[in-house]
């Protein structure tokens, strides 16, 4: 459940690309919550790791739009962008990473829910097709 007063809004590919570019180049500093600083770091690294702004924007868009659909918080978005960054760094091992994270959390109900959310995230990219 979203624990903030603001719900993440749906974004499209163009908006995702613009936000990534803006955060990557401006390197904002949010001393109170450091949310924007973390977004800037993760999105910059994601863009570098996947090597393609369109692909980084697709991943960002998928996470944000899923957060909107599931009424998740901005902290959840930060955590999931962090997961997708790790997945991008382990090229082609996203499925193994999903299994590992589920196992690390002892298969709790919460861990299983998160596992399913992560599996569902890229369903719009086609059967067995992830954006990376």
2: in domain: no
Q: Which domain holds residue 84?
A: 13-121
Q: How many domains does the chain have?
A: 1
129: in domain: no
Find the mean pLDDT for residues 113-125: 86
- Between 127 and 125, residue with greater pLDDT: 125
pTM above 0.85, yes or no: no
49: in domain: yes
3-state DSSP of 31-71: CCCCHHHHHHHHHHHHHHHHCCHHHHHHHHHHHHHHHHHHC
131: in domain: no
127: in domain: no
Tens digits of per-residue pLDDT, 60-92?
Answer: 999 999 999 999 988 899 899 999 999 988 887
7: in domain: no
Q: For residues 48, 62, 105 and 40, what is the CA-based torsion angle, rounded to 10 degrees?
A: 40
128: in domain: no
Find the mean pLDDT for residues 95-108: 86
Rounded Cα gap, residues 17 and 98, in angstroms:
26
């Amino acid at each position: 459940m979203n624990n903030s007063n603001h719900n993440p809004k749906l974004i499209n590919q163009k908006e995702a690309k613009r936000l990534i570019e803006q955060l990557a180049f401006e390197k904002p500093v949010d001393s109170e919550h450091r949310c924007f600083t973390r977004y800037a770091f993760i999105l910059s690294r994601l863009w570098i790791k996947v090597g393609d702004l369109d692909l980084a924007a697709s991943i960002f868009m998928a996470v944000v739009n899923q957060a909107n659909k599931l009424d998740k918080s901005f902290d959840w978005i930060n955590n999931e962008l962090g997961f997708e960054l790790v997945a991008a760094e382990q090229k082609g091992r996203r499925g193994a990473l999903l299994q590992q994270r589920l196992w690390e959390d002892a298969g709790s109900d919460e861990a299983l829910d998160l596992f399913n959310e992560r599996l569902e995230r890229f369903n719009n990219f086609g059967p067995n097709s992830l954006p990376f």
